[in-house]
Structure 1
Amino acid sequence: MVHVNQYYLPPTNLIPNSPQPLLHYKGLLSESDLRPENIHNRFHQNGWKTQWIFRYGPTQQSHYHSAVHECMVVLTGTATIRFGVADTDSDLDKNTWSGARENGGVEIDARSGDVFVIPAGVAHKTYDTTPAAPFALLTPGRGRGIQAANVEEALAKVELTGFTMMGAYPENRGDWDFIIGKEDAGRFKAVWSVAKPKKDPVLGDDPDSLVGLWKDTPEFYAKI
């Protein structure tokens, strides 16, 4: 049985979050599993599209995706990821280290082998990364798909340094957007109603994954 940490994050004034739980599969993938080309194949088998590998810098702006769910696999390094709240100041030092953020949310230590399945609408912000390195897109393209004739070959050539994560989104559901808060005020239910994927990005049909843990009945949303 897979051990899954579930986090239910209620809406804030600025962030819709989701009725579906954020899923954290802590240490799910072993070192031998963490070859990007192998993870890509697993994503593809489960109907998810690999779109990027980023090396994260010291911090970033809190954001969410309004129309697509996301999976992030930690390949190398350690960091803290803050989920569920918006930044309330554009200054990254203030919103990361000095409390310029909404109340609530949850902070999770992330390390290689961890997998996060993030419902549409759930805010996230990665910071305090180790080893220290500047932010960079490591895959060919613009971060919305791997632009290469042979994707597996391109992924196998990626040099992983610093804190890196690999991201995927359900196939045929469009690209990710970058929403920082307020933009969806008054239409949170539209974000909450993004269709549930047929399979979990890494666990496929396993009932201990989003397949069994996320609800998809109209009655569920009607109670929100």
Structure 2
Amino acid sequence: MPIKDQIKNFAKKLVVERPDPPTLRALVSARKPAAIHFRDDGIVPNNPHLPMLLYRGAVNLKSRRFPPDVVIDTLFDMNGWGRSWRDTVYDFVHYHSQIHEVMGVARGTARIECGGVKGRILRLKAGDVAVLPAGTGHRLIEASRDFLVVGAYPQTGTYDECTDTRERPDAIKRIAKVRKPKTDPVLGARGPLLRSWRRQAART
């Protein structure tokens, strides 16, 4: 999301009560994520080495004390993924060539196309978390009226938004240079993202 959305969300953080680390850990399910690979489809480059990771039911959002978007936002922030935003997902195909992205569903359900038109349409619901490596195409197909996503980014990398096929040659070069994050946005420094992405990179 643009900088203005991140600034707006930062302002919200200053006025809401946020769960502490022990409370957060109790709300997180240490499930193994599904790894989904997407090939370059000629339009969207996707990521040649790193799979998208999908954590089903990663966060228990039934806390009466904290709103679900606050829980997810705080979880990502605690694990080193910041510059967050709260909104829906764009309904046009786009990807980020200089940074990875995590999206956690705070409310509602949606069908989101990942990997471009030749990728997969995934049904996401509240509590699910998807980690998209740089280059992964995504767009909203349809969503419930109450659909709300919290998005965030690792500490390294620069936000950009690629939608034009003329950008492909340069975007592919940028994707190859994006550093792997130091932490898993859901499970922290020892989370499965680090092992999964390290193994995949070693195979190539």
Q: Does 1:171 align with 2:202?
A: no
Q: Which runs of 5+ in 1 are unaligned?
A: 86-101, 132-161
Q: Which runs of 5+ in 2 are unaligned?
A: 1-29
Q: Tell me: CA distance 1:32–1:183, structure 2 relative to 1, closer, same or farther (3 Å).
A: farther
Alignment TM-score, normalising by the size of structure 2: 0.75
Any idea what SS the aligned residue of 1:204 has?
Answer: coil
Quote how far apart the aligned CAs of 1:219 are: 5.7
Any idea what SS the aligned residue of 1:186 has?
Answer: helix
Q: Which residue of 2 is the match for residue 127 of structure 1? A: 141
Moved more, 209-218 or 37-46: 209-218
In 1, are the aligned partners of 2:80 and 2:155 still within 8 Å (CA)?
A: yes
Q: Which residue of 1 is the match for residue 50 of structure 2? A: 20
Moved over 3 A (4+): 216-220
In 1, are the aligned partners of 2:72 and 2:106 still within 8 Å (CA)?
A: no
Aligned-pair identity (%): 31
Q: Tell me: CA distance 1:219–1:181, structure 2 relative to 1, closer, same or farther (3 Å).
A: farther
Q: Matched residues in 2 for 1:181 and 1:50: separation?
A: 24
In 2, are the aligned partners of 1:24 and 1:116 still within 8 Å (CA)?
A: yes
The one-letter amino acid of 1:213's match is: S
Q: Does 1:107 align with 2:121?
A: yes
Which structure would you say has the larger RCO, counting Cα contacts within 8 Å and 6 or more residues apart?
1
Quote how far apart the aligned CAs of 1:217 are: 8.6
The one-letter amino acid of 1:195's match is: R
Any idea what SS the aligned residue of 1:192 has?
Answer: helix
- How large is the Cα RMSD of the aligned pairs? 2.2
The one-letter amino acid of 1:180's match is: T
Count residues in correspondence.
Answer: 170
Q: Matched residues in 1 for 2:105 and 2:83: separation?
A: 14
Q: Matched residues in 2 for 1:212 and 1:47: separation?
A: 17
Structure with more helix by fraction: 2
Q: What are the residue-to-residue correspondences of 1:61-210 with 2, within 5 Å?
A: 61-85=92-116, 102=117, 104-131=118-145, 162-174=146-158, 176-187=159-170, 188-207=172-191, 209-210=192-193
Any idea what SS the aligned residue of 1:171 has?
Answer: coil
Alignment TM-score, normalising by the size of structure 1: 0.68
In 2, are the aligned partners of 1:50 and 1:166 still within 8 Å (CA)?
A: no
Moved more, 44-53 or 121-130: 44-53
Q: Tell me: CA distance 1:122–1:217, structure 2 relative to 1, closer, same or farther (3 Å).
A: closer
The one-letter amino acid of 1:37's match is: V
